Amino acid sequence: MVLKKTDHRFALFFCLVLLSGCAGLPAAYTAATSGTYKVRSGDTLYSIAFRYGLDYKSLARINGIQPPFTIYTNQVIKLRGSARLPEKDGGPVSKPTATAPKKVPSPVKTPNKPVSVWRWPLKGKLISRFSLENPVNKGIDIAGKKGQKVVAAADGVVVYAGGNLRGYGKLVIIKHNDNYLSAYGNNDSMLVKEGEAVKAGKSIARVGKTAADVEMLHFEIRRDGKPVDPMKYLPAG
C-alpha cells in the first residue's frame, strides 16, 4: 500500500490497523481496477457482491447468472464499471482443465417479503457508529465477550458463512429478502451453514477478538448492495 502524507490518509490507515479483522474497510472501498473477479473456493455471488458494494441482482444480470445464482471456482465475474465487456456471459473464461471446476453451492430461495422487525444481534455497548466518511465504517461495532452468542437480526437465509472477505474475519451474511442483507463479522466461530433458514434471534455465531485485542461484533445492514445505518433499523434502547 502506498500512502500519501496527508492527515486524512494517515487517519484512515491508523483505523485500518486498529480495526483489522472487524470493519472490512480494505475491500469495502477498493474499486476493482480490472473490472473482473475470479471466483475462489468458498465464494458465493452474495459475498462477491458484498465485497464490492454491489447489488447481487445486478451482478447476476451483468453475468447472465440465473437463480439460484450458482457459480464455480475460477469463473470470472464481471464487476461494476465493466460496460466495455460483452453483455452476455459465455461462462468461465479460464482454460479448460482435466478437473471440472468446483460448483459453489447456492442457498435456498428466500420469500420476498418486507422485514417486519429488526432486533439487535448482540446486547452490548456501541463502540463505533456507521460512517461513510474518514474513518469509514460501513456498519456498527458492538462490544461483547469472546464466545458470546450472536443472533440473527431478522428472519432470512444464510447466503455466506466463511472467511474469504479480507477485513471481516469469520463472516456470516443473511439474506432477508430481495433488497436487504445483514452481515455479522469478526466472529470467533460460526454456528450456521450456507443455505440454512434462520429466524430472528437464532444463534448464528460467537463473538471474536480483533487484532487490537477488542472483543466485539461488526454488524452491517445493506439495502440493494449499499450500506445503510443499522441504527435507523434497530429498536431503541
pTM of the model: 0.76
In the chain the domains, ranked by start, together with CATH numbers, are 31-104 (3.10.350.10), 126-232 (2.70.70.10)
pLDDT for 112 equals 78
Kind and range of the H or E element at 62? helix 56-63
Q: Please state, in angstroms and rounded to a whole number, the distance separating the CA atoms of residues 104 and 208.
A: 26
User: Which residue is associated with the grid cell 480490472?
Assistant: 34
Strand boundaries in the chain, DSSP class E: 36-38, 71-72, 76-78, 103-104, 126-128, 140-143, 149-151, 156-162, 170-175, 180-190, 197-198, 203-209, 215-223, 226-228
Give the list of residues 6+ apart from residue 201 with CB closer than 8 angstroms, or none. 119, 151, 152
Closest to 226 (Cα-Cα) out of 80, 55, 96: 55
Q: Could you state, in chain order, the average pLDDT of each consecutive group of 10 residues for the chain (237 residues)?
A: 40 38 37 75 95 94 93 92 32 31 58 88 97 94 98 98 94 97 98 97 97 95 97 91
pLDDT at 237: 67
Angstrom distance (rounded) from CA 216 to CA 144: 5
Measure the CA–CA gap between 172 and 158, rounded to whole angstroms: 7
The pLDDT assigned to 105 comes to 55
Half-sphere exposure for 90 (CA within 13 Å, toward CB): 5
Task: Identify the pLDDT of residue 4.
Answer: 41
Contact 165, 157 (CB under 8 A): no
Q: What is the largest CA-CA distance in the chain?
A: 58
> Which residues on adjacent β-strands are paired with residue 157?
175, 197
